Structure 1
């Protein structure tokens, strides 16, 4: 019986092929080194600190030498049995979900508007103006919001009083702050968020728009029947990535814009600010680590679940 001509490559041959590929792509591999090193130092190496969630950390003894808590879930128990657990969990999930939905809608709408602007000069001006807020730190944004809402001398209160109304003590009225935080979040990130959608629209075949126009479709119909269907895959991917962090709040937004006012905690206190205060006021590193681990696990599960649902509905739009 004749030997098989196309035999599978052996181990040595596979290694040789991999080595040749590495040599051929040496420049690209070198360019990835800084990213790999930074990812290892700031993302993977800190994972060693997960064990702090199960230890009674003592600075003199270090991470390894500190005793394990008894029971092993004691640090988690401290958070879940506190009277604030439900409040901060509700605020974190509710506000993040609101941010994801409204920010996505705002980003898509802004990208569609920019796509209809035909002169490149104006597109650059509008995009630059919308992106500038993203480069401002939340500390600066917090002071800008305070200049608008300050009880004495705030611009918004001056307008209300000028119209014959009474000034509002914004920093003692928690019911207004979900909307204030939403506006701040959208204003700060809509420019950056719209760039990806705008780039996706620029890649759409112009023949689709021309065919729709020849069929009598106006601009609004072209948006709904051409532009939005082309954006669905990228919208799905970006939403999945955002959902992956739904249990993590933007600390800068919730701490600096609200100025950490205790009167606002009922609607603005989230897990990240709660853990920060626990760490600063009580020095409870074990509980802080436990809550951080809990956040990561929930985000991981939510991301996998959301991606699994997308694979069942539209596999091509899934992350993996």
Structure 2
């Protein structure tokens, strides 16, 4: 018996040591949690909103595979498989909407990135802090305007009766254009509106990245005789390249998603403009109003999400192979 007890002692000692280590780990966790209690309290409301707004609705994915009726409810309705998805692939107008969505999204992403970086570089060259803050505030203001307000502003410019642009054109004896029945102009107008509304906000993000660059790089460049242009080209741009890549990768998730307000409200949902302004969101909205088919609209939203997810993963894989340090994960 004594020999058996002696043999068990090392095992008992190891178990006690493991228990003490686990107890110490738990104590350190609660101590750390208590030390940062203020930060966690600020984090909780955002976490609750994230769960309610982003994660709970995921259960509604099943609606895309059902023939929803209001009597049985979304979860009690019969399954129809992939029939709801056929609407997007069998309708010829759907391909037009997909083409416009992808084309506009790529154009907006490229143009907004180029303009935002350029504006950030210009703001970085301003020596007066008050002037920089004034211009930054002025440029970010359109970002906070809703598309309803933007649609009224655009209509005030483009209205055939009494519009500002029409008045200027008549003053110079230029033939007026009925903008809301001329689809060939709207690709340019939509790009201009998007840049006007979004460049200010995106430039603030790049300005924050530029501000974090160590000033010693610029001081060394000045000693070497580098001009402001060369400093921006060979110091600023390479230093904010990871930020540009990250924001571009995140933007890839929205390639199949468009701003409904921009394409529906700003264009006044004019049927004459559908060839150049109809996107997936407006197409599905009109179909939902006519057919009252919730399953079909859910299927379209699911396709948008899945395609965006795949594009982010594939784009990140390409970036990772080129430069592992610049990839998201």
Shorter-chain TM-score range: over 0.9
Q: 1:315 aligns with which of 314, 319, 324?
A: 324
Could you give the per-residue CA deviations for residues 42-90 of structure 1, whole angstroms, max 9, x where no partner exists?
Answer: 1111111111101110112111211111xx1000012211111210111
Q: 2:46 aligns with which of 35, 38, 41?
A: 35
Q: Contact 2:157 / 2:163 at 8 angstroms: preserved in 1? A: yes
- State how far apart, in whole Å, the 2-side matches of 1:304 and 1:29 are: 31
- State how far apart, in whole Å, the 2-side matches of 1:26 and 1:219 are: 46
Residue aligning to 1:64: 75
The equivalences for 1:161-176 within 5 A come to 161-176=170-185
Secondary structure of 2:269's counterpart equals: coil
The alpha-carbon deviation at position 227 of structure 1 amounts to 1.1
Residue aligning to 2:169: 160
Residue aligning to 2:3: none
- State how far apart, in whole Å, the 2-side matches of 1:53 and 1:128 are: 43
The alpha-carbon deviation at position 94 of structure 1 amounts to 0.5
Q: Contact 2:249 / 2:312 at 8 angstroms: preserved in 1? A: yes
The alpha-carbon deviation at position 20 of structure 1 amounts to 3.5
Give me the TM-score of the superposition, normalised by structure 1: 0.94
The alpha-carbon deviation at position 29 of structure 1 amounts to 2.0
The alpha-carbon deviation at position 275 of structure 1 amounts to 1.2
Could you give the per-residue CA deviations for residues 8-41 of structure 1, whole angstroms, max 9, x where no partner exists?
Answer: 7865554444334333333222221111110111
Q: 1:178 aligns with which of 187, 193, 200?
A: 187
My pick for the range that moved more, 8-17 or 266-275, is 8-17
Secondary structure of 2:73's counterpart equals: helix
Q: 1:129 aligns with which of 132, 135, 138?
A: 138
Q: Contact 2:63 / 2:75 at 8 angstroms: preserved in 1? A: no
Say how many residue pairs are matched.
316
Task: Supply the RMSD in Å over aligned alpha carbons.
Answer: 1.9
Residue aligning to 1:238: 247
Q: 1:197 aligns with which of 172, 196, 206?
A: 206
The answer on 1:259 being equivalent to 2:268 is yes
Could you give the per-residue CA deviations for residues 230-264 of structure 1, whole angstroms, max 9, x where no partner exists?
Answer: 11111111111111111110111111111111111
The equivalences for 1:42-191 within 5 A come to 42-69=53-80, 72-191=81-200
Q: Which one has the largest radius of gyration? A: 2
Gaps of 5+ in 1: none
Q: Contact 2:94 / 2:283 at 8 angstroms: preserved in 1? A: no
- State how far apart, in whole Å, the 2-side matches of 1:149 and 1:16 are: 67
